[in-house]
Amino acid sequence: MFTLLGIFAVAKLIPTKQGKAPVLLGKQLALSKNPKIATALGVTFFVFIGYSVVNTYITSVMSFSGGVVSVILFVLSSRA
C-alpha cells in the first residue's frame, strides 16, 4: 500500500522534462569500431559466457545444489 502511494507521489511531484532525440542504431554500432570499446564489450561478453558455461556444467553434470555452485564459482573466481 505504501509502495503504491510512494510511486504515485513521485510520479506527481517530479516535473516532466523533454528528452533528446534518440540516437540511431547505426551511430551506436559505429562506436564499436573504437578498439577500446570493442575490447571492453568483448571482455564483458566472454566473462558472462564463461560464467554461464561453468555454471551450467557444474549444476547439471555434477549435480551440485545451488549453494555449492555459488561457493565453487566464488573459489574459482578468487583464484584468477
Map out the domains of the chain as residue ranges. Answer: 25-80
Sign of CA dihedral 49, 53, 58, 59: positive
**What pLDDT score does 27 carry?**
93
**What pLDDT score does 60 carry?**
76
**What pLDDT score does 50 carry?**
86
More confident residue, 43 or 69: 43
**What pLDDT score does 37 carry?**
94
Residue 73 CA to residue 45 CA, distance in Å, equals 18
Q: Decide if 72 contacts 58 (C-beta within 8 A).
A: yes
**What pLDDT score does 40 carry?**
96
Residue 59 vs residues 4, 75, 76, 78: alpha-carbon distances, Å: 39, 15, 15, 19
4-18, 38-52, 60-74: lowest mean pLDDT where? 60-74
pLDDT in tens, 14-59: 988 888 899 999 999 998 899 999 999 999 999 889 888 877 877 7
